[in-house]
Structure 1
Amino acid sequence: MRVFRIMANLHVPDVAAARSFYTDYLGLTTEEFDLGWVARYTSPDTGATVQLVTGDASAPVDSAVSVHVEDVEAAYADAQARGYQIVHPLTTEPWGVHRFFVRAPDGTVLNIAGHPD
């Protein structure tokens, strides 16, 4: 599996209320998207990125990190073959991302995501 981006998913009670700390204070001024329940902010200078999440819109649990991969289907098959617990099945979400959630042996839930071609 080739990973090309990993970012923290920070649980916040209200994305709009948290926004100014991350944008004004930390300088993550590029808003890549805001779906209301999740928003991504990036530094235009360094590429540092964070996602603010109030609660996942379609998964039964929240993830701690998002891992962007080139081939999400292969990553899903590999996770299954290794016997890892899938906590949200491979799904193409209404907002366009193709993803699944897997629980690492330490209990951390990861959002493994890709974009369909």
Structure 2
Amino acid sequence: MEILASRVLFRPQDYARSVSFYRDQLGLAVAREYAGGTVFYAGQSLIEIAGHGSPAAGAPPFPGALWLQVRDLAATQDELRSRGVAIAREARREPWGLHEMHVTDPDGVALIFVQVPEDHPLRRDTR
């Protein structure tokens, strides 16, 4: 498996309070905003504060997830299954346009594997 990019994804109890904390209190620059979310620059990484979604039912309390971009989500899902990894949520296209699959690590941390479709805004050159 080849990981192309990653970011820390938080799904806070209070979206506005968390955005204010990262933007106003910590002073992080906004990398991009979308309906229901804000992504901040954090050195060579990104922190995404999402106002959508929620942790899986019954999952231990954990405010975020590890976002891992892959080239081919179906192939990644097959590869992980072949290694005995349980898929918490099958690969599917999300309302925000990304293809996502969820896996949970032994400590309950959500890993979100993502494939960015060719027509998604993340693929556009913004220069």
Shift of 1:63: 5.4
CA distance in 2, matches of 1:86, 1:63: 18
In structure 1, the partner of 2:46 is 49
In structure 1, the partner of 2:20 is 20
CA distance in 1, matches of 2:23, 2:92: 31
CA distance in 2, matches of 1:101, 1:63: 13
In structure 2, the partner of 1:87 is 88
User: What amino acid is aligned across from residue 51 of structure 1 in structure 2?
Assistant: E
In structure 2, the partner of 1:113 is 114
CA distance in 2, matches of 1:69, 1:28: 26
CA distance in 1, matches of 2:24, 2:64: 25
- What stretches of structure 1 move > 6 A for 4+ residues in a row? none
User: What amino acid is aligned across from residue 103 of structure 2 in structure 1?
Assistant: V
| Contact in 2 for aligned 1:65/1:110 (Cα 8 Å) | yes
Q: TM-score, length-normalised on structure 2?
A: 0.72
CA distance in 2, matches of 1:33, 1:55: 13
For these two proteins, the number of residue pairs brought into alignment is: 113
Segments of 5+ residues of structure 2 without an aligned counterpart are 58-62, 119-127
Q: TM-score, length-normalised on structure 1?
A: 0.77
Shift of 1:31: 4.3
